[in-house]
Amino acid sequence: MKNLRTAIALILAVLMTVPFAVISFAAEEDGSYEITNPYENVKWDEVTAYKTALHTHTNASDGDDTLKASIQRHAETGFDLVATTDHGTVNYSWTENSENKIIYGAMSLIGKTEGPIVPLDKEGVFDNGVAYSVITENGDDYLVLEDGRKILRVPFGNENNALSVNAHVNGWFADFTQTKITTYEDAVKGIDNAGGVSVINHPGEYTKARYEIRSEEAYNEDNFIYRYYINKFASLIDRYDSCIGIDMNSKGDNRTRFDRILWDNLLKRFAANGENVFAIASSDAHNLDIIDSGYVLALMPELTSAAFRSSLENGEFFAASHCLGNYDELCDIAAALKEFYGETELYGKVNGTAEEMLARIEAIENGELPADEDIGITYSTLEDGYNTAEADPRITSIEVNEATDEITVSTTDALIVRWISDGKLIETQKAGDATLDLNSYADVLGDYVRVEVFGEGGIVYTQAFLLDASVKAGTSEPVDSSYADWGILDFLVAEFNNWFAIIGRFFSNLF
C-alpha cells in the first residue's frame, strides 16, 4: 500500500507540473526578439508631433536675414518650436540682442554677414501683416500669433566651435560658448558640464564624405580615415550621455547625403552593446528659402521646454526632411513608387532627379568634372522656402508586438515605408499600416531596425528599434580598442581646407 501511495503521488506530481511546463514552453516561444522601442512611453492619442527647427542662423553670425525675418518665416511654414543657433552666440531672448561682438565682427570682416541685428518687439507686426506678441509662461518664452498659435523658443540655442569652421556641435539648454578655435571634444564636454544637450552637426562637412560620389565609398570602414572618424564620433557619444547623436539630413541634404551611412555605422556599434544613437534633421538655415528643408517632429503632451528636452533625451521624436540628395536612396524610392503606383508624376520627378545625379557622377568619374566636384543636385519639394506638396508624410502611431515579433507603423500622407537594418534596406512596403515581421527576416537582421517613410511631401525617419538590447548590454565596445584621437592633428588638416577658402574670401572683399 505504501508503494502504491508513493506511485500515485509521483504520478500526480508529474501531472501537476505538465500544465506549467507547457505554459513555460509557450512563454519561451512567444516571441523570438526583445524589441526596445524608443516610443514605448508615447501615448499616441495624447501627444502632438510638434514641428521643430533645431538649427537656424541670423545675421548675428553668418545668416543673411534678421532674427525677426527668420522667426516670421518659421511661423509661415508651420513651426511650433524654434532654436536660434548662431555661431558662438548663445540665444538668451528673441526680444533682445543675443550678440557675440567678436563673432559678429569677425563675420562682418570676411563678408559673411551685414546689417543691424533686429530682434522681435514685445508686441509687433511682421512684414506679412501678421500681429504677434512675445510672452513668458512658467519660465518659457513663446511667440503668440494673432490667431492664438504659439511658437516656443528653445532655450540657449548655440552652434559651438564658431571659429573652427566645421567641427560644429549644436547645443541647447546650456549657457555655454567659446570664442576661440576649438575641437569637437571642447564643445561636447563644455555643453555636458553646463547641463545641456548636444548633437554633432553635418559630420559629412568635417569628414569630407560630402565629396564622395558613390555610397560604397562613403564611411567605408575599410578606409582607415573613415574608420578613424567613425571612432571619433563614437567616442564622443559613448563618453558624454548628453551628446545624443548626429544631424544626418540638413540644408538640402547635399553635404549630408551620406551621413545616414555614418548613422548606421554608429548604430551597428552601439546597438551591439545594447545602446541607441539618435539622429536629427535640420535646415541649418542661413537664408529664408532653406528654412523648411529639414526639421524634427517632437512627440510631446504639451508645448514646454521641459517636455521638449525629455523628447530629445529619450528619442521620442522623428527626423524629417523635404530634401534628399542620395542617389541610391532615390533609385530605391523611384523603383518602389513605380511598382506600387505606376509611372506617376511623382515617380517621374524622383527618377528624373536620380538620372541627373547619375549624369553628374559619371561626368566626375570620366574626368569631365573636377574630382572634388560636389554633386550639387537634390530632390526637393521646396520652392522659395515653402513646401510645394499638399501634405507632408506623418507617422501617426507605432505598435510593437513582442508576442509576434512585429512592428507596425501607421502613417498619413505617405506612399512607401522602408525598413533598414544594419545599414541595409531589408523591405519596402506600401504605406498605411505597414508591418514588419522580424521572424521573416531573421537571416538579414542585425542588432536594430529603423524606418523611413516617404511621401510626396518628403521623408520621415524613426529612431532605431534595438533587438535583444538587454542581452547585449556590456558585451562589446562601440569604440575600437586601438583608437586614439589625433586631437589637434586631424583638426588642423580639416581647418586648413576651410580657412584657406576663408582667407581667400577675406582678400577678395578688400579689392
Are residues 362 and 504 located together in one domain of the fold? no
> How far is residue 349's CA from residue 383's CA, in Å, rounded to a whole number?
14
Q: 399 in a domain, yes or no?
A: no
DSSP 422-441: TTEEEEEEESSEEEEEGGGG
Are residues 248 and 296 located together in one domain of the fold? yes
Residue with cell 535583444: 468
> What does the pLDDT read at residue 24?
28
Cβ atoms of residues 87 and 169 within 8 Å: no
> What does the pLDDT read at residue 5?
37
What torsion do the CA atoms of 128, 131, 135, 141 make, to the nearest 10 degrees? -20
Are residues 271 and 360 located together in one domain of the fold? no
Are residues 302 and 343 located together in one domain of the fold? no
Q: 403 in a domain, yes or no?
A: no
Structure letter (DSSP) for residue 462: P
Are residues 332 and 309 located together in one domain of the fold? no
> How far is residue 55's CA from residue 91's CA, in Å, rounded to a whole number?
12
Are residues 319 and 338 located together in one domain of the fold? no
Structure letter (DSSP) for residue 67: H
Buried b / exposed e across 261-290, counting CB within 10 Å, b at 16+?
Answer: bbbbbbbbbbbbbbbbbbbbbbbbbbebbb
Are residues 279 and 269 located together in one domain of the fold? yes
Residue 232 belongs to domain with CATH number: 3.20.20.140
Three cell numbers written together for 126: 511682421
Q: 262 in a domain, yes or no?
A: yes
Cβ atoms of residues 215 and 326 within 8 Å: yes
Which of 339, 359, 377 is the last residue in one of the domains?
377
Are residues 249 and 355 located together in one domain of the fold? no
CA-CA distances (angstroms) from residue 333 to 21, 255, 428?
Answer: 48, 20, 9
Q: Tally the domains of the chain.
A: 2
Are residues 62 and 185 located together in one domain of the fold? yes
Q: 163 in a domain, yes or no?
A: yes
Q: 158 in a domain, yes or no?
A: yes
CA-CA distances (angstroms) from residue 35 to 163, 401, 415, 443, 448?
Answer: 43, 9, 26, 17, 9
> How far is residue 408's CA from residue 401's CA, in Å, rounded to a whole number?
8
Tell me the residue range of the domain where 220 lies.
48-325+479-510
Are residues 364 and 272 located together in one domain of the fold? no
> What does the pLDDT read at residue 495?
56
Q: 180 in a domain, yes or no?
A: yes
Are residues 271 and 163 located together in one domain of the fold? yes
- pTM here? 0.90
Which of 336, 353, 377 is the last residue in one of the domains?
377
Contacts of 120 (CB under 8 A, 6+ apart): 67, 68, 71, 94, 95, 132, 134, 143
Q: 191 in a domain, yes or no?
A: yes
Average pLDDT per 10 consecutive residues for the chain, totaling 511 residues: 38 36 34 94 98 96 95 98 96 91 78 86 98 98 98 97 83 92 90 98 93 94 93 98 98 96 98 98 97 98 98 98 98 98 98 97 92 86 94 98 96 98 98 95 96 98 98 96 81 55 46 48
Are residues 369 and 494 located together in one domain of the fold? no
Buried b / exposed e across 429-441, counting CB within 10 Å, b at 16+?
Answer: bebeebbbebeee
Q: 417 in a domain, yes or no?
A: no
Helices (H), 112-258: 184-193, 203-207, 224-239
Which of 377, 395, 411 is the last residue in one of the domains?
377
